[in-house]
Amino acid sequence: MRLTPSKIVCIGRNYVDHIKELGNETPEDMVIFLKPPSALCDELYSFEGEGVEYEGELCFLYEKGSFSAVGF
């Protein structure tokens, strides 16, 4: 089953070790940002010589007033 959400709400800069690794400042409040539904994909593409960083993502589907699914 493929879902097409109306919006994707993201929380960023919440992993302290990664913040330090990148030399960024630790925010006092969580960073919230949006991604368009077109950001979802089934495949990862990279080009020869291009660096790739691997991160884990947790996704929660919220519909009809409650969480109905989780993915990673």
Per-residue confidence at 66, pLDDT binned at 50, 70, 90? very high
Give the count of beta carbons closer than 10 Å to the beta carbon of residue 32: 9
Residues 6+ apart with CB under 8 A from 39: 8
pLDDT value, residue 1:
64
Among residues 58, 44, 45, the alpha carbon closest in space to that of 10 is found at 58
Cα–Cα distance between 7 and 63 in angstroms, integer?
12
pLDDT digits (tens, 9 = 90+) for 2-25: 777 888 888 888 788 888 988 989
pLDDT value, residue 56:
72
pLDDT digits (tens, 9 = 90+) for 23-47: 989 889 888 999 888 887 778 778 8
